[in-house]
Amino acid sequence: MSRRSRAQGDRSNDTESAERSVAVPDREGLGRSRGGVTTKIHLVADSRCRPIARVTTAGQRHDSVDFTPVMADISIVRSCGGTPRTRPDRVLADKAYSTRKIRDALRRRGIKATIPEPSNQVAGRKSRGSKGGRPPKSDKQIYKARNTVGRAINRLRGYRAVATRYDKREFVYKGTIDVASIGIWLR
């Protein structure tokens, strides 16, 4: 066992407790980030900055981990009736979502992607030479519209309860986000 300083609330001294421990689900959705204890809102927004789908996670989780649950949450009711639409025409995302897994998932669903490559991925692809593959296509003019997600989050944070997150439980905070989203859609 490594020698490290023990913090308040650290593991028990009971050596048999690890065998009996049961994973407790995270009900608060809080996590440590640079700014302290935070919660992230992963959001899909339409071109008018209205929230369509959202997932909340702990603040330290990487954005790309929750891409699939956010995309699965999309459901747009059609005006002419029928089944709701679950596939957008195009995905505009920042460099955090530039992974092969995400690009392959979008390609399988027939969704166009405009996601720029981070510099470390470009360097890694170039260092492999001809085996590095072709660079992903990213249109800079289309990418300029990506700020709609940031503007949608700012509209959500215009509601004080969303911005401050005084709710202890995650499901209550999700309800607060839903109420704020309804207010945005009714404007």
Instruction: Give the pLDDT band (50/70/90) at residue 180.
Output: very high
Q: pTM above the 0.75 mark?
A: no
d(CA 182, CA 187): 9
Query: What is the rounded CA–CA span in Å between residue 122 and residue 19?
Result: 45
The residue type found at 122 is V
Relative to beta strand 90-92, strand 51-58 is unpaired
pLDDT digits (tens, 9 = 90+) for 58-97: 878 777 888 888 899 988 888 888 888 888 888 888 888 8
- Other C-beta atoms lying within 10 Å of the C-beta of residue 50: 14
Q: Each residue of 32-45: pLDDT tens digit?
A: 767 677 788 889 99
Q: How far apart are CA 52 and CA 75, in angstroms?
A: 7
Assess whether pLDDT exceeds 70 at residue 7.
no
66 contacts 41 by C-beta, under 8 angstroms: no
Q: What is the pLDDT of residues 140-176, one digit of tens each?
A: 788 888 888 889 999 999 999 998 888 888 888 899 9
